[in-house]
Structure 1
Amino acid sequence: MTESSLMTDSELSDALRALANPTRLQLLSWLREPERNFSLEGAIADPVEVGVCVTHIQARVGLAQSTVSAYLGELQRAGLVRATRVGKWTHYKRDERRIAQLVATLGHTL
């Protein structure tokens, strides 16, 4: 990665803040292998291509849907996941390019 493709200090701070919560960190980890980590019975979209529905994520983590949505929103604002609407449901998928950028930035700056 070139230096121009590294995260800004503000972007890095946002990403690290999002990952500072153990549950958000766990969600991001689980989303790495959605078919392995979530019961996807009744899924209406491909979890690898589109992402995992909040309903399936909420069932796995065992927290209120509003809490799970807030956690995923924080990861999305940090650029670590992308949200896609499928009908009335929101699906979340890791943004692998952005995660690689985070890792590269940490390797370059620390």
Structure 2
Amino acid sequence: MADEVPADVVQALRALSNPLRLQLLTWLREPERNFDLAGAEVDPHEVGVCVSHIQAKVGLAQSTVSAYLSELQRAGLVRATRVGKWTHYKRDEQRIAELLTVLGKTL
């Protein structure tokens, strides 16, 4: 079908359909404002926010938070960077902008 929505857009929308995943993406927009970054060893804007800081805010098991973040990563909405034994997540602003452009043209 010529008017079919691209699969990557459907995957991104599916990832955003969960309220907590949407909230995580929103919080990552302003990490200093939304997370207690005491003890952070990297710049949250350059590298991202450590899963442990995110987990502390949401109060869920680390494995649950990691699963939510992995879904956002598979959808291309966040990027993961490994620093030692810790994984840090930050928004992929370019991908988010592309998604908004596609949605603006599609909907």
Structure 1 and Structure 2 fold alike (TM over 0.5)? yes
- Unaligned runs of 5+ residues in structure 2 are none
Residue 78 of structure 1 corresponds to: 75
Which of 15, 20, 26 is residue 18 of structure 1 equivalent to? 15
Which of 40, 45, 52 is residue 42 of structure 2 equivalent to? 45
Task: Tell me the matched-pair count.
Answer: 103
Instruction: Give % identity.
Output: 77
Q: Structure 1: how far apart are the matches of 2:20 and 2:32? A: 19
Cα deviation, residue 9, structure 1: 1.0
SS across alignment from 2:79? strand
Give the 5 Å matches for 1:1-110: 9-110=6-107
Cα deviation, residue 44, structure 1: 1.1
Residue identity in the other structure for 2:71: E
Runs of 4+ residues deviating >3 angstroms: none
Residue identity in the other structure for 1:71: Y
- Unaligned runs of 5+ residues in structure 1 are 1-7
User: Relative contact order: is structure 1 or structure 2 higher (C-alpha 8 Å, sep ≥ 6)?
Assistant: 1
